[in-house]
Structure formats: structure tokens, C-alpha cells
Amino acid sequence: MAPPDPPSAPRPPGPSPTPAPLAPRCRTGPGEEGGCGNSARGGVAPGDESTQLGQRQAYFIRHDRTRGHTETRLATGLTRFAFGPGQWCFINRPTGEGHLVRTRPDIFIARDGDFRGNPTGIRRVHANAADWADDFANHEDRLATLRNRG
């Protein structure tokens, strides 16, 4: 019978060796931060109250105390709800959902390799999406040329 394995060395106290995750690239925020034109200039929402959906939307707008609006009946039978600037956009609900606000810049990275990995370890960081797309197109062209050669 084999002797038992010796106990492993105790881990020193302190932080975990795994790095902390990066902060997300985007978060939700109010319309002013997200660049929403409706929040800055105000907006218009037409409503067709002849449908069940239109009736529910009109009920919501009329009973919503977070936004002020003016209501106009149009000759076409639609109801026009106009909202002044500086109000909550309909995308930015009090439930926490809202416009995406970037917290850090996008990065565009191209790595060598294929589905098996990156054996060379080469990676290229591009300044913008257009440069990344150009690199991708050049790579696709190189693959097509190799395929046509046989």
C-alpha cells in the first residue's frame, strides 16, 4: 500500500491570485448621459387608440406622473402626445433600464491563429473599427488567394 500524499503547503494569507474583473464597457444611465435627442429636445409619441395596444399606451402616458405632456387629437384619428425637453425618455425607465453610457473606450484587437488558438501570441491593437475591418478584409483576401491557388 502506497503512503498517503504529503499535505500541500498552506496558502499564504492575502488576496486571491486571480485578477479582479474589468469594469464593464457600458452601463445604463439617464438620457442626457446617453446622448438621447428626445431627452434633450423633447419628443412626440403618436398613439392609435383604435387598437388595444394604443389604448394601453395612451392610458400609461395619461397616468404617468414622471413626465409632463400635451395631448392633441389629429384628424386621422391618432392622438399626438408631445413631451417637453429635460424629461425622462421612455427608454430610461425608473426600473433602472436606460440608455447605454460608455464607461471606457472600445478596443479593437486582431489576433493570429484560428479556432485552435493563437500559437504565435501576436496581437494587433487597432485605433478604430475601420482599421479593424480593413485588417479583417485583408485577412479574408489572403485566405481567398490561398484557397484559389490550391
User: What DSSP string describes 95-136?
Assistant: TS--EEEESS---EEEES-BTTB-TT--EEEESSHHHHHHHH
Contact (CB, 8 A) for 22 and 106: no
**What pLDDT does residue 17 have?**
57
Give the whole-angstrom CA distance, residue 96 versus residue 63: 20
Question: Residue 41 — very low, low, confident or very high, per pLDDT cuts 50/70/90?
Answer: confident
Position with higher pLDDT, 91 vs 62? 62
Q: What is the pLDDT of residue 4?
A: 59
Which of residues 85 and 109 earns the better pLDDT score?
109
Quote the pTM value.
0.44
In terms of pLDDT, which residue wins out, 72 or 19?
A: 72
CA distance 80 to 61: 11
Most confident of 36-40, 113-117, 128-132: 128-132
What is the band of 79 on the pLDDT scale with cuts at 50, 70, 90?
very high
Mean pLDDT along residues 2-6: 59
For position 147, what pLDDT does the model report?
93
